[in-house]
Structure 1
Amino acid sequence: MKRQGNNQNQPPRIVVIGGGTGLPVILKALHKKNADVTAIVTVADDGGSSGVIRDYINVVPPGDIRNVLVALSDMPQIYKKIFQYRFVSTDQFFSGHAIGNLIIAALSEMNDNGIFYAVQELSKMMNVEGHVFPASNEPLVLNARFSDGTVIAGESEISAAAKTIERAWVSGMNENVPHAVNEVISAIMEADQIVLGPGSLFTSILPNLMISNLGKAVCKTKAEVIYICNIMTQKGETERFSDADHVRVLNKHMGKKFIDTVLVNTETVPKKYMDYQKNGEYLYQVKHDFNGLRKEGCRVISNNFLRLQNHGVFHNGPQVVDELLRLTGRPLSWFDDECN
């Protein structure tokens, strides 16, 4: 039986797993509510500033971790802006790097115990409310096998291949078997609710679940496992996917139907709204297949979760979080009253 709250007088323990730009959207909205939040963040990113830093000093890619820290931080806004500041292209030595990425990389070098514990120190410095846990204490490599039998390593290379992905997995350094530290596993097993996404299916969500002990914990936990389905399909990853296809891929990789509830957006993206030059990785709106979702054994919650901004398509964080909080079994007024 799935758990619906450890104690109705205590804040629910919500673990959000993912990466990319979708994770901070949900965390920012959760941060404003009375919930005990833990973010488990992918460490397989190899693009942009994170990729460059990773290549030079062999550290866990810091970009996703940086954005999550800011989303849950209570430090003054000016400090957040400094932490997020990205050097302009004319600064050749620092070009494209965010100050926060450099700080995380420095702390990981200073801490002999690895990136996980460096992030815990930084969380204290940034007055983070909740917990930010890297999925692994070492950088991981995402691998994919495509329908034509070819295999490619590296998140950026996989996305650029523009082929149908059949299987994804992660590998560690020196052929080590990737694993999550005990704190990550404990957070999952003790949670009241596990939230997957929103985020890229193959490059933000599955890299976490493919860490053996982490994936097993998600399948064994008594917490309700909720998947926030993407609104748009992604080039090189989920082309022509329906919402049921997303869930089917997740269940197939885990070897069981482990997702209890799926949140799907039902609002139509206006024609010609998307700026595809700016958001070239997104293709079409995800199609709905409610019969397919039922076959995957999950409950479906559909609503208008759409937020349109700057000719891009995003999840409406507060609207999604309201649904998540309802699923804890408490009225929404409980969270507002507790915050006052």
Structure 2
Amino acid sequence: MRKPKITVIGGGTGIPVILNSLRHKDLDITAIVTVADDGGSSGEIRHATQLTPPGDLRNVLVAMSDMPRFYERIFQYRFNKEDGSLAGHPLGNLIIAGISEMQGSTYNAMQILTKFFHVTGKIYPSSEKALTLHAVFKDGQEVIGESHISQHKGMIDHVFVTNDYDDSKPKASRKVVKAIMESDMIVLGPGSLFTSILPNLVIEEIGQAVCDTKAEVAYVCNIMTQYGETEHFTDADHVRVLNRHLGQKFIDTVLVNVEKVPQEYMNSNKFDEYLVQVDHDFAGLQKEVSRVVSSDFLCLENGGAFHNGESVVAELMNLIGMKEL
């Protein structure tokens, strides 16, 4: 029997947690990663090289690789703040940028690095060009650039992306649509709703493919709300935003954490994007999707509230088992 095909879409620090657990299963895995990051090291590199930002791709590469821990520490090493023009840059970002420049694209670089680091599966940037994220707020104000969105007070109405260096319409990377259409399951998130998940889906080809695919589409809802993005959001609000952006109810299953986050993890100074735990609205969810999986998906570590990759993947495997391949 062939391996079930599962495609994970997102970015940031959320999807690496899931991918790291998925790679130990007998699956054909593809990761589709956002290229709209314009802050920190990734932002500096994209502006200097006019290539897609490497940071989210770097974290996914590490999560899906069987590289020894020492190699991982080297790849993830971040230069000290006293190191001049190198300050704050992870070594892996510079390696990805260098190979991207040498090969003419980040897409080509990732195909080399997946072999170099013995990655289980395939990693594709969502687009082969750097994208700029635009957020239009309820008050009509438009904020340009992912790193600026959380600084604007108010509620986001919708987001869209444009190409950085030309006026052409953003397009999906080669093989991305094919991977989505051939998948048995699509997993969205976990990750920032407006800045990690939607920047992929609002690329028209990707959004259309996710709507058209016969795969089970599962959304891993965030555990915590995020400052400047999802303040006061319920789990149903997250799903409504996704469905509204694509113009239809395309999500089949939502995975929701029901374990209580301790009070000391609220408004954490270490993770200042976190506010409070996402409220539950199961009646609202049932209007948006056909299946809700609620369980203890919580992992508390390093002062933050994260998803437990093993618990999430166990439920995803149950869903795959329910689907006739």
TM-score by length of 1: 0.93
Aligned counterpart, 2:107: 116
* Whole-angstrom distance in 1 between the partners of 2:300 and 2:102: 41
> Is 1:106 aligned with 2:110?
no
Aligned counterpart, 1:68: 60
Number of residue pairs the alignment of both structures matches: 322
How far the C-alpha of 1:275 sits from its partner, in A, is 6.2
Runs of 4+ aligned structure 1 residues displaced above 6 Å come to none
How far the C-alpha of 1:36 sits from its partner, in A, is 1.0
Aligned counterpart, 2:6: 14
How far the C-alpha of 1:61 sits from its partner, in A, is 0.6
Equivalence map 1:87-236=2 (5 Å): 87-112=79-104, 114-172=105-163, 173-236=165-228
Q: Secondary structure at the match of 1:239?
A: coil
* Whole-angstrom distance in 2 between the partners of 1:43 and 1:244: 27
Gapped regions of structure 1 (runs ≥ 5)? 1-8, 332-340
Q: Secondary structure at the match of 1:109?
A: helix
Asked if the contact 1:84–1:98 (Cα under 8 Å) also holds between the matched residues in 2, the reply is: yes
Asked if the contact 2:234–2:281 (Cα under 8 Å) also holds between the matched residues in 1, the reply is: yes
Aligned counterpart, 1:3: none
Asked if the contact 1:20–1:204 (Cα under 8 Å) also holds between the matched residues in 2, the reply is: yes
How far the C-alpha of 1:125 sits from its partner, in A, is 1.2
Q: Secondary structure at the match of 1:171?
A: strand
Q: 1:309 to 1:117 in 2, by over 3 A?
A: same
How far the C-alpha of 1:76 sits from its partner, in A, is 2.3
Letter in 2 for 1:27: L
Asked if the contact 1:196–1:228 (Cα under 8 Å) also holds between the matched residues in 2, the reply is: yes
How far the C-alpha of 1:115 sits from its partner, in A, is 1.3
* Whole-angstrom distance in 2 between the partners of 1:76 and 1:109: 26
Q: Given the alignment, which residue of 26, 40, 51 partners 1:34? A: 26
- Taking only the aligned residue pairs, the percentage that are identical comes to 58
Gapped regions of structure 2 (runs ≥ 5)? none
* Whole-angstrom distance in 1 between the partners of 2:267 and 2:207: 36
* Whole-angstrom distance in 2 between the partners of 1:300 and 1:222: 19
Q: Secondary structure at the match of 2:2?
A: coil
Asked if the contact 1:275–1:311 (Cα under 8 Å) also holds between the matched residues in 2, the reply is: no
How far the C-alpha of 1:273 sits from its partner, in A, is 3.1
Aligned counterpart, 2:277: 285
Aligned counterpart, 2:294: 302
What RMSD, in angstroms, separates the aligned Cα atoms of the two structures? 1.2
* Whole-angstrom distance in 2 between the partners of 1:275 and 1:318: 26
Q: Secondary structure at the match of 1:300?
A: strand
* Whole-angstrom distance in 2 between the partners of 1:137 and 1:298: 34
Asked if the contact 2:266–2:275 (Cα under 8 Å) also holds between the matched residues in 1, the reply is: no
Asked if the contact 2:254–2:289 (Cα under 8 Å) also holds between the matched residues in 1, the reply is: no
TM-score by length of 2: 0.97
Aligned counterpart, 2:253: 261
Asked if the contact 1:274–1:311 (Cα under 8 Å) also holds between the matched residues in 2, the reply is: no
* Whole-angstrom distance in 2 between the partners of 1:57 and 1:10: 41
